[in-house]
Amino acid sequence: MSYVVAITGGIGSGKTTVADRFQALYNINIVDADIIAREVVNPGTEGLIQIEQHFGPQILLDDGHLNRAKLRECIFSEPSEKQWLNDLLHPLIRSEMQRQIALSTSEYTLLVVPLLVENKLQYLANRVLVVDVLEQTQINRTVNRDKVNHQQVKAILASQASREERLAAADDIINNDHKIMT
């Protein structure tokens, strides 16, 4: 089994950029929780089947994929629905992350988990690397990348672990307040 380094950080911190840079330089495997989270709700998966059974067929797009905008409406207006969804998806995501880590063939594996601290997943890794940026940098990057407004980004930031909580969980820190040269 390879040595697992978890990469975490708040929205817009540059986690994916850092992971991709390590992968390009050292040819190591990446296990990305965000990618897995999308895969566990693909058409035909147990995750999507249960979501449709719970929320009804209107939760699907015409092509059978998850209507993410509709799902967001459902879970943000009702905290118990968000909890139901988390209770369904988190074990599926965690199980797939563990499966991919076990299959990794590189000496090191990067486990990219945005909500590592919030979900207390540090136990999945040998080390925790926090990609750290100032809050204003997070806001600017996310507004530019996702074409959302400042209030939406601030709401996301409020739902995530604080910068201090992430830094307290870190074995290593990358300050990513500047543009990474590729």
pLDDT digits (tens, 9 = 90+) for 90-121: 999 999 999 999 999 999 999 999 999 999 99
Could you identify the residue written with the tokens 């409406």?
Answer: 73
Locate 45 and state its tokens.
Answer: 């998966």
Instruction: Give the global pTM.
Output: 0.88
Q: What pLDDT shows up at residue 152?
A: 81
Is 15 annotated as a binding-site member?
yes
Is 17 annotated as a binding-site member?
yes
SS3 107: coil
Is 70 annotated as a binding-site member?
no
Q: CA–CA separation, 121 vs 96, rounded Å? A: 13
Is 13 annotated as a binding-site member?
yes
Q: What pLDDT shows up at residue 180?
A: 57
Counting as low any pLDDT under 50, the low residues of the chain are 182
Locate 25 and state its tokens.
Answer: 């330089």
DSSP letters of 9-49? Answer: --TTS-HHHHHHHHHHHH--EEEEHHHHHHHTTSTTSHHHH
Q: What pLDDT shows up at residue 15?
A: 94
CATH of domain 1-29+108-181: 3.40.50.300
Q: What pLDDT shows up at residue 146?
A: 83
Q: CA–CA separation, 84 vs 47, rounded Å? A: 12
Q: What pLDDT shows up at residue 158?
A: 83
**If we measure between CA atoms, which residue out of 4, 14, 5 comes closest to residue 132?**
14
CATH 3.40.50.300 residue ranges for the chain: 1-29+108-181
